[in-house]
Chains A and B, each alone.
Chain A
């Protein structure tokens, strides 16, 4: 007897799990806001490797003479990021010299200095929005043509779900939103749609074979048949990206974490969101 998991029947559970995570994310977003990086906001970030434990609060007090609103944070590996949208290039050198003197550092302790003007952020936001919209639209058209309109809509809702989940992670963990954020979002988009299409392809094939009487069983069976592939591909992808997350330098970690979340969310949504949604649409709009 063929084993079939009951996925569609429990759709309320799956939808609730996702909604709760997204709600938490959106509420955090409302109250704490996203940690917009200078790529979007403009300003200067200096990253210095202190190389030993140090007092961040004290350093912030010390640097307030340059900008009372200066933002000083410790990041992994005893490094510090100093952010401000007021300091000049001259003051950047002064700040680094201050830190050098204070902690007995050498020139190579300066990790990076980034200064972004306010015009870049506007452009970046526009290109982020446009690229996401265009990609989504392109995918919707392709999926609708290759499958049918409602499957395309279901796939797109699953995509929006993944982007919202990833955005929630950015909000809750206060990961800086920089230009790599756009790349992360679009990778997730591409990856997640890949997963969804594999399941949909099986649904299409099984539907042609006419093996199953009702649409729910058809979807459940198709999910079950592709389940080991879904799990295995998530695993192999996670192997490499988690390795870089664990071993990499802070700036690469910042990029790897949302990818990890997005990949898990993408696999989850193709099984628990996109497929049940297709069956709901199918019932409501076609086979009444």
Chain B
């Protein structure tokens, strides 16, 4: 009996530390590689910097299809920026949320996302020659003569026909090219162009030409957009927030663990082990299962939940102390402690969960994320504080290493 419990306890402790090590530093076994969690976790925009825009569709009565098409078009445009992991998602009934990491200039981002993007070729008599619908493809190339970046258009069959006629008609005259009523170029027609290829000059640099090509290629948006929220977060905020938060987390966790150890002795030590299991479970749920992004308020929420996670253990240990004071034996006191603390743990956590779920279903954005932290924190702390602590505490007591009830709070 004793030996079995000793092995059980030692193996569990070994397992806890092994898993923590793997999650912190990663491991390579043969061809398999487990990356450390810090490499897996997705950072929110407030930690890595970028632009966040919420575009609102001005027209209130838009169909779901239109909203979805707008989202797809915006996604095409954002992808043409070539940044990694942008987010384009519908929020609410008429809003589209765009997150672009690595770009810090909100103005450039807004132009890329929010322009309606109506391309028009207009003749000298103000007659419309071509629109964005006649364009099959748009790419950036360099003008051989001037070395300036240009946007090269490939027109579809109908567009090519219209363009050939127009260039014949307006030979030697000016054609104006508009993007959303803004004149971007007004070239003079020098030749008849029958092959359906047109060039837009006037871009100041390659980036601008790329953006223009991206907008033309994705096509005009079916609706007018208005930016309801714009956030731009510089890269320095996260660069400072991450190390300071890590430091605070380390200090806070060490304080919690020391406190538990000093105040509750052996059970406190067991609670510290359970707390490590708690952190492992929540970390895995957030990064691997839910793949949530870590944000600044999220960090605060996680830290708060670590402080609260030992609460169930505090409740149990206080009960064990009381039972020991009544003169019960160590094993009976532990059993009674768990049993009698259960109703208060259950009721208090369910009420907290009620608040959490309301927050999750009513709240939006960062608030929702925070609620999720709270809910998962409460659920996994209930699990670890009850199941893990009981298992470890019982096998430790049964191992017979330390049986003097003084070390258990008597």
A interface residue numbers (CB < 8 A to B):
44, 49, 89-90, 92-93, 107-117, 119-120, 123-124, 127, 130-131, 134-135, 138-139, 142-143, 146, 179-180, 182-183, 186-187, 189-191, 193-195, 197-198, 200-202, 205, 225-226, 228-229, 232-233, 235-244, 246-249, 251-252, 255-256, 259
Contact = CB atoms under 8 A, between A and B. Distances in A.
B300 to A, nearest CB: 5
Interface of B: 46, 54, 56, 104-107, 110, 226-237, 240-241, 244-245, 247-249, 251-253, 255-256, 259-260, 263, 296-297, 299-301, 303-304, 306-308, 310-311, 314-315, 318, 322, 340, 343-344, 347-352, 354-356, 358-359, 362-367, 370-371, 374
Leading 8 A-B pairs by shortest Cβ distance: A240-B252, A237-B307, A190-B355, A201-B344, A243-B252, A115-B230, A117-B228, A131-B362
B227 A229 contact: no
A225 B344 CA distance: 13
A27 B107 CA distance: 42
A193 B351 contact: yes
Q: Which of B247, B304, B350, B356: most chain A Cβ within 10 A?
A: B304
Contacts of B104: 107, 110
A139 B247 contact: no
Given A112-B234, A131-B358, A233-B308, A197 B229 contact: no
A134 B237 contact: no
B249 A127 contact: no
A237 B110 CA distance: 42
Nearest to B237: A111
A127 B365 CA distance: 12
B347 A146 contact: yes
B366 A180 contact: yes
B248 A246 contact: yes
A252 B245 contact: yes
Given A232-B263, A259-B304, A92 B314 contact: no
B353 to A, nearest CB: 8
Contacts of A44: 230
Nearest to A143: B351
Contacts of B226: 117
A194 B236 CA distance: 38
Contacts of A124: 364
B244 A249 contact: yes
Given A135-B358, A138-B354, A120 B255 contact: no
A248 B304 CA distance: 14
